[in-house]
Structure 1
Amino acid sequence: MRAQVVKPYTRLVRRKETCMATANNREEVRALISTIDDAVVDGLMKGAVDLHVHSGPSTMARQLDHFQAVEQAAAAGMRGIMFKDHHYSVAPFLPIMERVLGHLNVAMFGGLVLNNTTGGLNPFVVDAQLNQGAKLVWMPTAQSANHIRSSHRKTRLASNVRLKASPGITVVDAYGEILDPVKEILDSIAAFDAILSSGHLHVWEIWKLFTEARKRGVKRLLVNHPMYGLHFTYEDIAEMAAFGAVIEQSACLYVDSRFNVFSPQELKEHVLAAGVEHSSIGSDLGQVDNPSPVEGLRQAIKLLLALGFTEDEVRLMVRDNPAKLVGLDPA
């Protein structure tokens, strides 16, 4: 069968349609969140934990640094934040940050993304980072094979054209079996009772990885934005939640953000596919020309309430579930 040729004009039409859909989504979001009282949101921000903060410094432009992220979280009454950078780990710097910002009573967490820029699938790097306090290990993101394949249509998955081109990373061999270095990494994560995140792997890889992780004693499993770039179906989300993973939805994909790609109704469907009891909300924000992490989380809370979720359900997703995953005592 002859491959279909997509003409440049067709690509332009599709891009225009995507932009129009995003604009419509953002308009609907603004209308919905305007119906929610700020005082209610203030209460739900108290004790919230954001496990997906992209503050700087970074190889990519950021609107706030790590110190400012903590200060803004404290002003909102939040309990904790997790710093995520695709190309280095903040974990070794947290003792210094605690000395300077500890009085704000915001728990600070760092982790390691296993991109080539941080050593890739290197068990020695992972062991060192866990010994320096890393709480979460993300599988490859911007340099995963799935991410690179998925970016050929210029999706908004994280990228950095200034960095040297990287070969795609996968966690499986040619037979679909988990690589030996990955098994070593899983053993280290289990030993430290750290969190294992799917990163930007393909859903098929994630199933293989998480199944192996469970066999090796990893207890804390996290899937980030499953419907964006990871090729999950609703059935995959439900089954992964039943398997014991926390399903994190990225606020930036749903709120009034330049990264918006989903409608409010899709947010509701994505959360319900996993179930509120297995869901969390991370801002996935910190980029320039976007809401701040705190503002993005506030918008997500308003949107969830406007979609019919109760205050208790929202509190579970923005406070209790992420706090439990990161090992904070119940509030």
Structure 2
Amino acid sequence: MIGMGRTLSLLGAAALLISAGAEPPPLGKLPAPTAADRALLRDVIDIHTHLDPDSFGPHSVQARRALDVLEMAARAKKAGMRGFVIKQHYDQTAQLAYLASKAVPGVEIFGQLCLNLTVGGLNPAAVHHFGEVKGGRARIVSMPTWDSEANVAAGGRDRPFVRVSRNGELLPETKAVIAAIATAKIRDSEVKLALATGHVSPTEALMVIREAKRQGIARIVVTHAIGHPIDMTMAQMQEAVALGAQIEFVTGFLIGRRASFTFDQYAEAIRTLGPDNVILSSDGGQLGQVLPDDMIAMVAGLLRKRGFSASEVRRMTVDNPAALLGLPPPTARR
């Protein structure tokens, strides 16, 4: 099977389709969201959006962005979404989140820090700076993404990287930055920082989760576990869940040039893990891709058609993301 360590059965996916009485969407193509699909965006929090202002050029190994933070905030408000997290590989985004939240009231916008080379890699000072930005919008610290050793190796490029382990053990620097995530204060908030595993290898991700739990980090998400370059097996995802982590399923890996598995393989993996353990996000915002809110609406609608209940879809798009960010349930905010 593509992108899931060959652990999910295509025969099982076919059986799921037959029982649902539907034809599978072709690889990389999903139907446009209907009004009913977009109604499923009520209270949704997308924990993984890539938005301008961001970098693009010979030193930025990433795509151009299709829209900026304020444009996404306006779309989220119109759709009835609760909010989103701004993810940039090369900058922390607490300031952007603070300003955008002021500019578009009624949408809860949060920042993320990825421990790549531009912030000094495994840099505790960067973690504390992120938490101390005015406004209480710091929320997620990610292990290295574009600059992780695993990501650089998968890309086949000879360039510097951030190493988190050696000989099957986390580096002291990795343990130190996890300690910073565990102890950092978020200014203007009582919430603690959450941890994302980034683009480290599956084995490294599990080591990071164990160390994070040992140091008292309560909220952890495995970054697009079934997507490249992580490609966790089902057994590895189940181990992460047993350790107390949520598993992120991004809709962006189902659509366009980034598609690496079918919708039914995706749905089967979610069903195996259970919606209680899954966060559905977009990983959207790239130029030429479906926009983030439409991505989530499309996939949420397809999951409903494949037999997931409304409450299960809501758990993955509303309740679990809110819990990861340390937010009260949406009913408590009205």
Match of 2:8 in 1: none
Is the 2:225–2:237 contact (alpha carbons within 8 Å) kept by the matching residues of 1?
Answer: yes
2:273 pairs with 1:274: yes
Matched position secondary structure for 2:138 = coil
**For structure 1, which segment, 261-270 or 44-53, has the greater mean C-alpha deviation from structure 2 after superposition?**
261-270
Is the 2:53–2:69 contact (alpha carbons within 8 Å) kept by the matching residues of 1?
Answer: yes
Match of 1:184 in 2: 176
Match of 1:168 in 2: 161
Cα deviation, residue 237, structure 1 = 1.0
2:49 pairs with 1:50: no
Alpha-carbon distance in 1 for matches of 2:232, 2:130: 30
Q: Percent identity?
A: 30
2:152 pairs with 1:148: yes
Deviation string for 1:195-230 (max 9, x for gaps)?
110100001111111111111111111011112211
Deviation string for 1:272-298 (max 9, x for gaps)?
232110001110000011100111111
Match of 1:249 in 2: 249
User: Which consecutive residues of structure 2, in runs of 5 or more, have no partner in the other structure?
Assistant: 1-24, 56-62, 186-191
1:84/1:40 CA distance change after superposition, 3 Å: same
Alpha-carbon distance in 2 for matches of 1:303, 1:271: 13
Match of 1:231 in 2: 231
Residue 231 of structure 1 aligns with an amino acid whose one-letter code is D
User: Which consecutive residues of structure 1, in runs of 5 or more, have no partner in the other structure?
Assistant: 1-22, 155-164
Is the 2:86–2:97 contact (alpha carbons within 8 Å) kept by the matching residues of 1?
Answer: no
Match of 2:189 in 1: none
Cα RMSD (Å): 1.9
Alpha-carbon distance in 2 for matches of 1:141, 1:56: 18
Residue 26 of structure 2 aligns with an amino acid whose one-letter code is N
Match of 1:115 in 2: 116
Deviation string for 1:37-78 (max 9, x for gaps)?
x34323321100000011111124111001111110111000
Cα deviation, residue 170, structure 1 = 1.9
Cα deviation, residue 231, structure 1 = 3.1
What TM-score does the superposition give when structure 1 sets the normalisation length?
0.82
Alpha-carbon distance in 1 for matches of 2:273, 2:267: 10
Match of 2:90 in 1: 87
2:37 pairs with 1:41: yes
Residue 150 of structure 2 aligns with an amino acid whose one-letter code is N
Is the 1:116–1:166 contact (alpha carbons within 8 Å) kept by the matching residues of 2?
Answer: no
Matched position secondary structure for 2:47 = strand
Alpha-carbon distance in 2 for matches of 1:139, 1:50: 19
**For structure 1, which segment, 183-192 or 304-313, has the greater mean C-alpha deviation from structure 2 after superposition?**
183-192
Residue 248 of structure 2 aligns with an amino acid whose one-letter code is E
Alpha-carbon distance in 1 for matches of 2:215, 2:116: 22
Deviation string for 1:159-213 (max 9, x for gaps)?
xxxxxx74122211x3332222222221222224211101000011111111111
2:282 pairs with 1:308: no
Is the 2:44–2:318 contact (alpha carbons within 8 Å) kept by the matching residues of 1?
Answer: yes
Alpha-carbon distance in 1 for matches of 2:275, 2:99: 36
Match of 1:200 in 2: 199
Alpha-carbon distance in 2 for matches of 1:292, 1:325: 23
Deviation string for 1:111-150 (max 9, x for gaps)?
1001102211111111111222421001111111100111
